[in-house]
Structure 1
Amino acid sequence: MKYLIVGLGNIGPEYVDTRHNIGFMILDELAKQEGIKFYNMRLAYYAEMQYKSRSLYLIKPTTYMNLSGKAVSYWMKDLKIPIENVLVLVDDLAIPFGSLRLKPKGSAAGHNGLKHIEATLGRNDYPRLRFGISDNYPKGRQVDYVLSGFDDDEQPELPALIDRSIEIIKSFVTVGTELTMTRFNK
């Protein structure tokens, strides 16, 4: 079984450790735990790993957030991975910090990365892990908020939330979306 795990984010040092880059942060930690490296390949930083006889292909698109669909589409076709075996890791303003939600499909909810994936694939029925970043920003400051780092009071919780996200990825590839949702969506 093959799976494409897509961490959304933006490349460049100015975006490292920002809320919008949580997808990159999760995959970086997974790679560190597994002792694997990312390579700059076509449209993405790319790594491969095995987990319980499944092949996981990890990508961090190098197209910037707003063009994420290009990388997702290319790697799905290149690796021949069906849409139900694609998992997109994404920040979500609509849920509170500390909440993680796996969904089998859904709307882009204003998220430019998801919007582009949906537009490129022509569908929105791909699983996604929504990482809550809250919406603690003044009106009109959404972009500044998602492109800023996590607050001092959020920082201590990040490692555990990233580890939990990795548990969700491993559960997703072994038991599927429904059972993983039952186990982790609280």
Structure 2
Amino acid sequence: MKLIVGLGNPGREYDKTRHNIGFDVIDMLAEDLGVANFREKFQGLVGEASIGDEKVFLLKPQTYMNLSGNSIKEVMSFYKLDPAEDLIVIYDDMDLPLGQLRIKVKGSAGGHNGIKSIISHLGPDFFRVKCGIGKAKRREETVSFVLGGFSKDEMKEVEPLMEDAAKAAKSLVTAKNIDRVIQKFNKKK
């Protein structure tokens, strides 16, 4: 059993923003896996599916980004899952160029408040699928940048990025060799 989490903020005002790319990838996965509806549970929206022989839960925490760990910990505890083996988190990363994907097995939060929250509840060992959203031109524009939407031109890079993030998550679920999956998806643009 695996848990695939997409990070984002609930509410229409955050829909389709850079910070919510994790939610968008979960929606893409749900459609691909035939998840018809999500139910409210564990302070989030949860869908169930299978990838290969593995049962998978898709989660969009509804706690707001900075408290994502609260929702994820509830699911992990309830199903007695091991973060190092069973947790895959998909989220935005400003330190990666727009459209670039990076899988990491563990590490620091890198300034991402959602990841900080998860680490504070579960420790640093879990799979991360980082989606490059680029950087704001000036530091003081960071909040409006991450809470802003992608332009039409940017979407040409973002749509394939989201498809790759969904494929990467599925590959991590079924992988016999994690290093091969990481090598496949972490190639430079």
Q: TM-score range by the shorter chain?
A: over 0.9
1:46 aligns to 2:51 (yes or no): no
The within-5 A match list for 1:96-135 is 96-121=97-122, 123-135=123-135
Amino acid paired to 2:180: L
Q: Which residue of 2 aligns with 1:10?
A: 9
Gaps of 5+ in 1: none
1:1-150 counterparts in 2 under 5 A? 2-36=1-35, 37-84=37-84, 85-121=86-122, 123-150=123-150
Secondary structure, counterpart of 1:60 in structure 2: strand
Q: Is the 8 A contact 1:9 1:64 kept in 2?
A: yes
1:166 aligns with 2:166: yes
In 1, the alpha carbon distance for the partners of 2:170 and 2:155 equals 24
Q: Give the CA deviation at 1:27.
A: 0.4
1:91-150 residue CA offsets vs partner (Å, 9 max, x unmatched): 0000101110000001101101001111122x2111100000111332211111100001
- State the one-letter code of the partner of 1:177: I
Which segment drifts farther, 26-35 or 89-98? 26-35
Structure 1 residue identity aligned to 2:157: E
Number of residue equivalences = 184
Q: Show the counterpart of 1:181.
A: 182
Q: Name the SS for the 1:104 alignment partner.
A: strand
Please list every run of 5 or more consecutive structure 2 residues that lacks an aligned counterpart in the other structure: none
| Whole-angstrom distance in 2 between the partners of 1:27 and 1:143 | 23
**In 1, Cα distance between the equivalents of 2:32 and 2:117?**
30
Equivalent-residue separation in structure 2 for 1:118 and 1:165 (angstroms): 21
Distance across 1 between alignment mates of 2:16 and 2:178: 27
Whichever residue aligns with residue 127 of structure 1, its letter is: F
Kindly state the Cα deviation for residue 165 of structure 1 after the two structures are TM-superposed. Answer: 1.0
Q: Distance in 2 between matches of 1:10 and 1:91?
A: 12
Percent of aligned positions that are identical: 40
Q: CA RMSD in A?
A: 1.1
Offset at residue 11 of structure 1 (A):
0.2
